[in-house]
């Protein structure tokens, strides 16, 4: 793991763009499955969650290995992931797309938040989700889930490549979540994707204004008429964009 996989200026740009815009930028590069599917914000935060990925992988639980006594082990991977996730990172959990048992609850997630975590994501569910929703730190899951993770899942590995909601997630990939969904940007593409998304967002904001004013989308979105590009250039100058 690198010490600082996300540049501050790149993070600042990613704060200003939507997951949908980032998905289009990645699509242009042939990356079509980077959005984490069937995972939603526990509560809307009105701002983006951004951070490098720190991962936890679950596997199907075998009953003799998954009794409550397992939590007494200080090296238990679920507990250890909470304690080892670096400040500013997003903890991303591969819970086998199963919310039959919880990936974590409000106590562990509070600990992650106090330690400086940027967010938490699972393709399973959280227990005590009503409390998680009240936290300042963003959290994303499939749905609330009350049974302990030991019921069907065993936390087995930390900070390895995983799948989360059918998206590939490698340690240090950049995770961006808004009030709709979450996307995973390969770490080596983060800077250029952020730059492109800023440009795309400026044009999209211009288009919204034009459409609200009665303009047709033909020739405007996408921009196939030079007159719209001239209008956009004037709009950028007037709006300092």
- Express each pLDDT in 165-179 by its tens digit: 999 999 999 999 999
At 159 the pLDDT is 97
Token pair 């956009």 is at which residue? 232
Nearest in space to 155 (alpha carbons), one of 59, 53, 83: 59
Examine the pLDDT at 81 and tell me if it is beyond 90: yes
User: Are the C-beta atoms of residues 140 and 165 closer than 8 Å to each other?
Assistant: no
The pLDDT, as a whole number, for residue 110 is: 98
Please report the pLDDT score of residue 206 as a whole number. Answer: 97
In the chain, how many H helices and how many E strands?
7, 13
Of 19-33, 60-74, 184-198, 225-239, which range is least confident?
A: 60-74
Indicate the burial class of 43 (C-beta count within 10 angstroms; 0-12, 13-18, 19 or more). middle
Residue 70 pLDDT class (50, 70, 90 cuts):
confident
* Across 119-141, average pLDDT: 98
- Give CA angle at 198 (92, 180), nearest 5°: 40
pTM of the model: 0.93
Over residues 125-140, mean pLDDT: 97
At residue 2 the predicted structure's pLDDT band, cuts being 50, 70 and 90, is very low
Instruction: Kindly list the distances between the CA atom of residue 93 and the CA atoms of 77, 119, 199, 232, in Å, as whole numbers in the listed order.
Output: 11, 11, 32, 42
Both structure tokens of 54: 């720190």
pLDDT classification of 3: cutoffs 50, 70, 90: low
Residue 144 has pLDDT above 50, yes or no: yes
84, 160 Cβ separation under 8 angstroms: no
The predicted structure's pLDDT at residue 58: 96
Give the model's pLDDT for residue 5.
86
Among residues 161, 193, 185, the alpha carbon closest in space to that of 33 is found at: 185
């Amino acid at each position: 793991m690198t010490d600082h996989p996300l540049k501050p200026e790149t993070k600042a740009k990613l704060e200003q763009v939507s997951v949908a815009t980032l998905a289009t930028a990645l699509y242009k590069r042939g990356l079509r499955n980077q959005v984490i599917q069937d995972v939603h914000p526990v509560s809307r935060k009105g701002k983006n969650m951004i951070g490098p990925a720190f991962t936890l992988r679950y596997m199907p639980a075998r009953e003799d290995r998954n009794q409550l006594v397992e939590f007494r082990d200080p090296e238990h991977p679920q507990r250890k992931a909470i304690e080892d996730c670096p400040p500013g990172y997003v903890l991303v959990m591969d819970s086998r797309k199963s919310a039959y048992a919880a990936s974590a609850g409000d106590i562990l997630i509070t600990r992650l938040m106090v330690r400086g975590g940027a967010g938490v994501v699972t393709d399973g569910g959280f227990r005590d989700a009503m409390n998680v929703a009240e936290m300042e730190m963003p959290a994303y899951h499939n749905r609330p889930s009350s049974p302990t993770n030991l019921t069907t899942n065993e936390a087995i590995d930390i900070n390895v490549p995983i799948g989360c909601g059918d998206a590939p997630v490698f340690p240090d990939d950049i995770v961006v979540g808004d009030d709709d969904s979450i996307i995973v940007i390969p770490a080596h593409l983060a800077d250029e994707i952020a730059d492109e998304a800023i440009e795309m967002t400026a044009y999209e904001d211009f288009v919204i204004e034009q459409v609200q004013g009665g303009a047709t989308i033909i020739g405007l979105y996408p921009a196939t008429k030079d007159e719209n590009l001239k209008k956009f250039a004037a709009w950028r100058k007037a709006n300092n964009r």
